[in-house]
Amino acid sequence: MRGLKEHAQTRFFACFALALSATAGVAFAGNLLTLYLFYEILSLSTFPLVAHHQDGEARTGGRKYLTYLLATSIGLVLPAMIITYQLTGTLEFSSAGVYGDAVKPATLTVLMLLFLFGFAKSGLMPFHSWLPGAMVAPTPVSALLHAVAVVKVGVFCNLRVITGIFGIDLISRTNLDVLICTIAGFTVVVSSLIALSQDNLKRRLAFSTVGQLAYIILGAGVAKTLAVQGSMMHIAMHAFGKITLFMCAGAIFVATGKKYISQMTGLGRRMPLTMFAFFVGSLSVIGLPPAGGFLSKWQMVVGAVGSELQWVMLIYLISSLLNAAYFFPIVYKAFFCTEEEAKFHGPMNEAPIAAMLPPLITATGCIILFLCPGFFLKLAQLAVGGV
């Protein structure tokens, strides 16, 4: 951004820092009210980032982004919090849950739906349209939105509600696990099918994000300790993989000005390092070794095997196949095409080092997380234990 001398850089970086601070606030929240307040701060601080370019497309995307997130959080989460406090007298997180057996199953179902769809940053359908619309933002913001902070805050909030407000045992006893897995499974499959039809690289990555977020909620919905642990690990594993992919998209645009997949045939000969990083990031998102995403997805699959929701295994299989179907052709055509098919000729010409180095670092991180997953595994175990 500095190299291109973009406007309003002070505002951009100030809002970026505030967004990261709000994300940390959500992570450290000890109760539902504090979590909700930081969630809203994140929504407001990222709006100027989405609308940064200040053209018509950016303003439209920004308004859509803010409308979806504020309307759902105020209209759905806030009433659910008020009802929860009236029923239980507390909003503190507890590994045993707060509702107990006195609350009727119908009430629990309504509250679960309010929380699931109210935290719309998680991108569950039909409240997912803000994600592709936010692709008008600069690439660093796209990485922030779709890999690290915003969407992960959405699924983190849902996981905190599932484990700390309802409790895993209550979800299993009241068949809420079927409700959660049905909604998440539908989102996984449909978003992956939509991603297959996208020629714009960032939009394909955006719909991939929708599916991966639902994948995390699907793991938590199984309501088995190992599956929930895997879903929490996948927050970090997917973050490394997806931020690599978005930064590769940014590097490609900086170096070539191309943003459509159909224009990238033969790109691996011109930008081999960038496309290799893209390949590693793809492996992590698909869930294949030697990338960290394999470990988290494996835990979710093993957790599902030990549950009564055997049909979830089919969702996992379909999801992985669709992930491979919309990522591998990009890499294959970049490296293995004929001279006649190639859109790029001449010597290697990577993006400037400031654009090329970050995805190489995060791609390396994907592999390191496969070899040394202990840190995030311990965090996931602590989270499932209610710490």
* The predicted structure's pLDDT at residue 111: 93
Rounded to whole angstroms, the Cα distance separating 34 from 261 reads 42
* The predicted structure's pLDDT at residue 365: 93
The residue-averaged pLDDT of 13-25 equals: 89
| Cα separation of the two ends of the chain | 40
Flag whether 1 is in a domain.
Answer: no
Flag whether 216 is in a domain.
Answer: yes
Residue 45 has pLDDT above 70, yes or no: yes
Helix axes 201-221, 293-305, angle to 10 degrees: 40
The model carries a pTM of 0.85
* The predicted structure's pLDDT at residue 147: 67
Q: CA of 173: how far to CAs of 102, 112, 234, in Å?
A: 13, 14, 25
Token pair 């602590």 in the structure block, residue: 382
More confident residue, 136 or 14: 14
Lowest mean pLDDT among 2-16, 135-149, 223-237: 135-149
pLDDT band at 1 (very low <50, low <70, confident <90, very high): low
pLDDT band at 35 (very low <50, low <70, confident <90, very high): very high
* The predicted structure's pLDDT at residue 3: 63
* The predicted structure's pLDDT at residue 34: 94
Domain of 192 in residue numbering reads as 9-384
Flag whether 261 is in a domain.
Answer: yes
The residue-averaged pLDDT of 284-291 equals: 90
Strand, helix or coil for residue 31: strand
Residue 280 has pLDDT above 90, yes or no: yes
Instruction: Give me Rg for the CA atoms of the chain.
Output: 20
Question: Is the distance from CB of 49 to CB of 6 less than 8 angstroms?
Answer: no
Residue 39 has pLDDT above 80, yes or no: yes
Number of residues in the chain:
387
Q: Using CA of residue 142, residue 124, residue 387, residue 82, what is the dihedral sign?
A: positive
Domain total in the chain: 1
* The predicted structure's pLDDT at residue 387: 40
* The predicted structure's pLDDT at residue 366: 93
Helix axes 32-50, 9-28, angle to 10 degrees: 160
Flag whether 2 is in a domain.
Answer: no
Average pLDDT of every residue of the chain: 85
* Percentage of the chain modeled with pLDDT above 70: 94
Residue 257 has pLDDT above 90, yes or no: no
The residue-averaged pLDDT of 153-177 equals: 87
The residues near 357 (Cβ < 8 Å, ≥ 6 apart) are none
Question: Is the distance from CB of 204 to CB of 261 less than 8 angstroms?
Answer: yes
* The predicted structure's pLDDT at residue 50: 80
Flag whether 3 is in a domain.
Answer: no
Rounded to whole angstroms, the Cα distance separating 55 from 148 reads 25
Flag whether 260 is in a domain.
Answer: yes
The residue-averaged pLDDT of 177-195 equals: 90
Strand, helix or coil for residue 55: coil
Flag whether 267 is in a domain.
Answer: yes
Q: Which residues pair with 31 in a beta bridge?
A: 92
Token pair 């642990």 in the structure block, residue: 229
Lowest mean pLDDT among 103-107, 217-221, 347-351: 347-351
Residue 93 has pLDDT above 80, yes or no: yes
* The predicted structure's pLDDT at residue 146: 64
For the chain, how many helices (H) and strands (E)? 18, 0
* The predicted structure's pLDDT at residue 371: 92
Most confident of the following: 16-20, 81-85, 164-168, 309-313? 81-85
Lowest mean pLDDT among 120-134, 151-165, 261-275, 319-333: 120-134
Flag whether 4 is in a domain.
Answer: no
Residue 385 has pLDDT above 70, yes or no: no
Lowest mean pLDDT among 48-57, 134-143, 309-318: 134-143
Pick from 159, 153, 148: nearest CA to 184: 159
Most confident of the following: 72-86, 193-207, 256-270, 305-319? 72-86
Strand, helix or coil for residue 200: strand
* The predicted structure's pLDDT at residue 133: 67
